Amino acid sequence: MLGDDEAANSGKVNTASLQARTFLENDFCKDKRVTCIKFHPSKPYLVAMSMIDNMEFADRALISGKSFESYVLILNFSDAFIITLNYVLETPIEITTIEWHPENPNVLFGGCLNGQIVVWDLSASDKRITAGKVMKQIGEDDDAVGGGDGENEKSQSMIKMKTLTQSYIVTSHKNFVADIQFIPPTVKVDKRNPNGGKYAHCISVSEDGIINIWDCR
Q: Is 8 within the bounds of a domain?
A: no
* Whole-angstrom distance, CA of residue 162 vs CA of residue 89: 6
133 close to 157: Cβ distance less than 8 angstroms: yes
pLDDT of residue 90: 92
Q: Is 213 within the bounds of a domain?
A: no
Range scoring the smallest mean pLDDT among 69-73, 76-80, 130-134, 193-197: 130-134
* Whole-angstrom distance, CA of residue 162 vs CA of residue 71: 10
Return the sign of the alpha-carbon dihedral for residues 144, 146, 151, 155: positive
What is the overall mean pLDDT for the chain? 80
Q: Is 198 within the bounds of a domain?
A: no
Residue 180 sits at φ, ψ, to 5 deg, of -130, 130
More confident call, 213 vs 23? 213
H or E segment and range at residue 203: strand 201-206
pLDDT tens-digit series, residues 156-188: 578 899 999 999 999 999 999 999 999 999 988
Q: Is 190 within the bounds of a domain?
A: no
Q: Is 53 within the bounds of a domain?
A: yes
More confident call, 130 vs 151? 130
pLDDT of residue 131: 56
Q: How far is CA 141 from the centre of its chain?
A: 21
More confident call, 5 vs 213? 213
Q: Is 9 within the bounds of a domain?
A: no
Q: Is 36 within the bounds of a domain?
A: yes
Global pTM exceeds 0.85: no
Domain of residue 87 covers: 21-170
Please count the structural domains in the chain.
1
Contacts of 166 (CB under 8 A, 6+ apart): 112, 116, 117, 118, 119
Q: Which of 125, 122, 206 is nearest to 167 (CA)?
A: 206
Q: CA dist 86 to 46, 58, 125, Å?
A: 9, 34, 15
Q: Is 7 within the bounds of a domain?
A: no
In this model, does residue 137 exceed pLDDT 60?
A: no
- Ramachandran assignment for 139, one of left (phi > 0), alpha (psi -120 to 50 degrees), beta (any other): left
81 close to 136: Cβ distance less than 8 angstroms: no
